[in-house]
Amino acid sequence: MDKPSDYSGYTLAEIKELHHQLVSEQANTPSTTQQQQIEQLEQVISARESAAPQAAEEPLAASTPETDVVTAAGVTRPAKPVLRTVPVKFLGITSEFFSIWIVNLLLTIVTLGIYSAWAKVRTNRYFYGNTEIDGHRFSYLAEPLQILKGRIIAVVLFASYFLAGYISPAAGLIVAGLLALLAPVLIVLSYRFRLHMTAYRNVRFSFRGRIGRAYMVFLVWPIISLCTLYLLLPINLKKMDEYLLEGSWYGDRQFKPRLNTGEYFGTGIAAAAIGMAIMMVGGIVIGVTSVMTASDTESVTNVLGFGIVALYFLTFIIAGSFYTSRIRNHIFSATELDGVAGFKSSLAMWELIKLRVTNTLAIIFSLGFAIPWAKIRKAQLYANVSNVDVLAEPDMVMAASGNSAEAVGEEAANLFDVDIALG
């Protein structure tokens, strides 16, 4: 008999609901393992109902008291007993992925881009299949023809914009405006397709965010942010992350974020201050260096041009890494997969800066051939700083039924640079 699941973190009502679902499934598709779980649930229900009335609606006592806790991000949430804490592992190897990447590149060039759909599926299956949590790996379920169909439609949309702009600037602006209005829909379809094609332990993820709210988050709030000279940008960024997380499900369990607005404001202000300080100090250094080392006007111009590009790169790397690491750590610690798992991230700013600088330089000096190495290193870093607190056995999660997703939104969004992710 399989090792019994731990139901101590569940109320009697939740256990009865699971028992009812399993009985219904057993009637349609009999299974010995499922029958054993039904019998175990019946024993738990009997024990709960025979207990004191006060305990009937409360989880069984556990070694960890169920009191509110404050996470590292400063967010208060109800505590549940942690069965175990497991690391996220990425097991990919550069040499393996390089062989996949180089074949993908050559076939994409030979087929004038058509093979890129197959290349994307092969790449995602390699990265998903080499990401492991608690002894189980992820699966990427999309098929190349789904990707190709979406890309064809995306190319048609892009061609209509290009053609309209060629015929008339006014027509180009009209089409651009229509595409901007379509952007929230593309984002929703993109996320819906991506999650629907992702599975863990044979249970799919899904995205159930409403399109109406997407228009508020991705269209109305950016306009408000612009009108306030980006003073409300942190609120806008928080609402984006919140919308994507709250709309995400794993089987029948929803991701529940408790993001802190103050964390977004504090991190955003600090990142802006870091960026401005780098620009000010760097600008002075570049100006003095160009005057002292250059012998003529052309040399001064060259030194200034190179210095400005390097300064922008340095500012983006340092300020961007500070923001990314802080917000990622906050999102992980403030999010829970309903009653099943909590998350932890310990990404350090300097680790991310080192990764981005070395990856960028390696790609430049290798003429792009270091891209596989850079992608593997990035996946390894993010995995190494991530942990999952298992609150209940994952086999308690039931697969949710839903409509099949299409790839059109993701591919069109990719082409028009409005595809987004949580990092």
Q: For residue range 230-258, what is the model confidence (pLDDT) as tens digits?
A: 999 999 999 999 999 999 999 989 999 99
Decide if pLDDT at 65 tops 50. no
Whether residue 1 is contained in a domain is answered as no
pLDDT of residue 102: 97
pLDDT of residue 283: 86
Shared domain check, 283 and 204: yes
Whether residue 76 is contained in a domain is answered as no
d(CA 167, CA 363): 39
Tokens of 187: 């984002």
> What string of H, E and C letters represents the secondary structure of 14-39?
HHHHHHHHHHHHHHHCCCHHHHHHHH
Shared domain check, 197 and 51: no
| Residue whose token pair is 């992710």 | 421
Whether residue 420 is contained in a domain is answered as no
How, if at all, do strands 341-345 and 76-78 pair?
Answer: unpaired
Decide if pLDDT at 23 tops 80. no
Whether residue 6 is contained in a domain is answered as no
Q: What contacts 172, CB < 8 A, 6 or more positions away?
A: 161, 164, 165, 166
Helices marked H in 139-296: 144-167, 169-196, 211-215, 221-227, 233-246, 261-293
Shared domain check, 193 and 47: no
Q: 285 is in which domain, residue-wise?
A: 84-415
Tell me what the pLDDT averaged over the chain comes to: 83
Q: Could you give the C-alpha distances from 342 to 58, 81, 172, in angstroms and in order?
A: 21, 11, 47
Beta bridge partners of 250: 205, 253
Greater confidence (308 vs 104) lies with 104
Q: Kindly give the interhelix angle for 94-110 and 371-384, rounded to the nearest 10 degrees.
A: 130
| 241-275 b/e (C-beta count within 10 Å ≥ 16 → b) | bbbbbbbbbbbbbbbebebbeebbbebbeebeebb
**Last-in-domain residue among 20, 40, 66:** 66
Whether residue 79 is contained in a domain is answered as no
Decide if pLDDT at 339 tops 60. yes
Shared domain check, 119 and 18: no
Shared domain check, 111 and 234: yes
Q: For 127, what's the count of Cα atoms within 13 Å in the CB-facing half-sphere?
A: 18
Shared domain check, 165 and 93: yes
Shared domain check, 143 and 53: no
Shared domain check, 324 and 185: yes
d(CA 211, CA 257): 19
Shared domain check, 210 and 119: yes
Decide if pLDDT at 99 tops 90. yes
Shared domain check, 43 and 88: no
Host H or E run for residue 52: none
Decide if pLDDT at 326 tops 90. yes
Tokens of 338: 């309903």
Question: Could you tell me which of 348, 2, 336, 402 has the C-alpha nearest to residue 204?
Answer: 402
Question: Could you tell me which of 171, 168, 111, 177 has the C-alpha nearest to residue 144?
Answer: 111
Beta bridge partners of 70: 76
Shared domain check, 196 and 148: yes
pLDDT tens per residue across span 277-306? 999 998 888 888 777 776 667 676 777 788
Q: By the 8 A CB rule, do 242 and 276 touch?
A: no
Q: Domains in the chain: how many in total?
A: 2
Shared domain check, 39 and 161: no
Whether residue 74 is contained in a domain is answered as no
pLDDT tens per residue across span 398-421? 766 544 455 555 555 555 433 333
Q: Could you give the C-alpha distances from 257 to 76, 250, 332, in angstroms and in order?
A: 11, 14, 9
Whether residue 285 is contained in a domain is answered as yes
Host H or E run for residue 5: none
Whether residue 362 is contained in a domain is answered as yes
